């Protein structure tokens, strides 16, 4: 069975999409064709998306599932007049929240992913720059300033994780690759020793690492399963010996790796 789903918003659509994905993922036996439609913020755009959805309903012979986070009431009403099954997030939750808060909502569009709080937004952008400047052990002199230093073998997931931690959470995360020389030394590289409390190790199954490395440098010693096995074994040994907390990233997305690192290190998500 295949159903079409729309995530509709008068803002970026990021919230509608996240919620919709999360709910639809619970229906494993249904295949979904999913579309995100942001910035539906005029009656014209509302009518045009209604037409589009109605066309799909006709084509599919099944009404589409619609998740919407449209704040504007007039637009929301226009969109609700559609041949679809609506999950209307503001309609559902704003009323009870207003009662609880004893206060009216402001019905302002696009609050959640805008520069509401300038300082926390700036913190995120600074953190991205920090991650780029301190990627791959490029510099170690800014480690005093880091919230976190990710270490691990080449291609174990350090860089995307640092960037996600920066973009999403505003954390300054540096990363340092553990090389063969570091391993043969059998101890923490000198640059890391004085920042022990900020270290977090990543590891990964050698089989997966070998596949990832082969995409970069096919059929090299660097990518060989033998080399990956040796490096990972030594790196994990170092983590245990030096008591560096670590995580195997093989089965996890950057979102999950980032969240787990924050839980493990006790960095609280005190949301913006």
Least distance from a copy of itself to the Cβ atom of residue 15, Å: 4
172 in a known ligand binding site = no
User: How big is the site for a copy of itself, counted in residues (CB under 8 A)?
Assistant: 82
Residue in 158, 173, 79, 71 with CA at minimum distance from that of residue 123: 173
Residue in 49, 53, 56, 163 binding a copy of itself, rule: CB under 8 A: 163
Residue 132 CA to residue 142 CA, distance in Å, equals 12
The encoded tokens of residue 134 equal 């301190």
Nearer residue to a copy of itself within complex by CB, 111 or 193? 111
220 in a known ligand binding site = no
Residue 200 CA to residue 164 CA, distance in Å, equals 15
Least distance from a copy of itself to the Cβ atom of residue 111, Å: 3
The answer to whether 51 contacts a copy of itself (rule: CB under 8 A) is no
159 in a known ligand binding site = yes
Least distance from a copy of itself to the Cβ atom of residue 62, Å: 10
The answer to whether 218 contacts a copy of itself (rule: CB under 8 A) is no
How would you class 41 by CB atoms within 10 Å of its CB: exposed for 0-12, middle for 13-18, buried for 19 or more?
middle
Show contacts with a copy of itself in window 165-194 (CB under 8 A).
Answer: 167-168
Q: Which stretch binds a copy of itself (CB under 8 A): 179-187, 202-210, 237-245, 248-256?
A: 248-256
253 in a known ligand binding site = no
Residue in 4, 8, 10, 17 binding a copy of itself, rule: CB under 8 A: 17
* Three-state DSSP state, 216: helix
25 in a known ligand binding site = no
- Contact between residue 8 and residue 66 where contact means Cβ atoms under 8 Å apart: yes
- Contact between residue 149 and residue 200 where contact means Cβ atoms under 8 Å apart: yes
4 in a known ligand binding site = no
Show contacts with a copy of itself in window 76-105 (CB under 8 A).
Answer: 85, 87, 89-90, 92-94, 96-97, 100-101, 103, 105
| Phi, then psi, of 186 in degrees rounded to 5 | 65, 15
């Amino acid at each position: 069975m295949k159903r079409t789903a729309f995530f509709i918003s008068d803002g970026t659509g990021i919230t509608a999409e996240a919620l919709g994905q999360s709910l639809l993922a619970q229906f494993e036996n249904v295949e979904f064709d999913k579309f995100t439609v942001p910035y539906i913020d005029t009656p014209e755009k509302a009518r045009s998306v209604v037409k589009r959805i109605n066309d799909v309903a006709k084509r599919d012979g099944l009404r589409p599932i619609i998740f919407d986070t449209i704040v504007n009431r007039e637009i929301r009403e226009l969109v609700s007049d559609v041949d679809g099954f609506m999950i209307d997030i503001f309609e559902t939750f704003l009323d009870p929240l207003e009662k609880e808060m004893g206060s009216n909502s402001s019905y302002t569009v696009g609050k959640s992913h805008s520069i509401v709080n300038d300082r926390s937004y700036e913190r995120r952008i600074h953190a991205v720059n920090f991650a780029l400047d301190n990627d791959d052990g490029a510099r170690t002199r800014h480690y005093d300033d880091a919230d976190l230093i990710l270490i691990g073998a080449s291609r174990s997931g350090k860089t995307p994780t640092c960037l996600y931690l920066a973009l999403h959470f505003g954390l300054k995360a540096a990363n340092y690759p553990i090389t063969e020389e570091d391993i043969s030394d059998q101890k923490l590289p000198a640059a890391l020793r004085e920042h022990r409390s900020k270290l977090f190790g990543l590891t990964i199954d050698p089989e997966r690492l070998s596949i990832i490395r082969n995409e970069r440098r096919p059929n090299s010693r660097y990518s060989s399963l033998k080399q990956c096995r040796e490096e990972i074994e030594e790196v994990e040994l170092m983590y245990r010996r030096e008591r560096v907390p670590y995580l195997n990233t093989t089965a996890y997305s950057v979102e999950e790796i980032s969240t787990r690192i924050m839980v493990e290190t006790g960095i609280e998500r005190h949301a913006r």
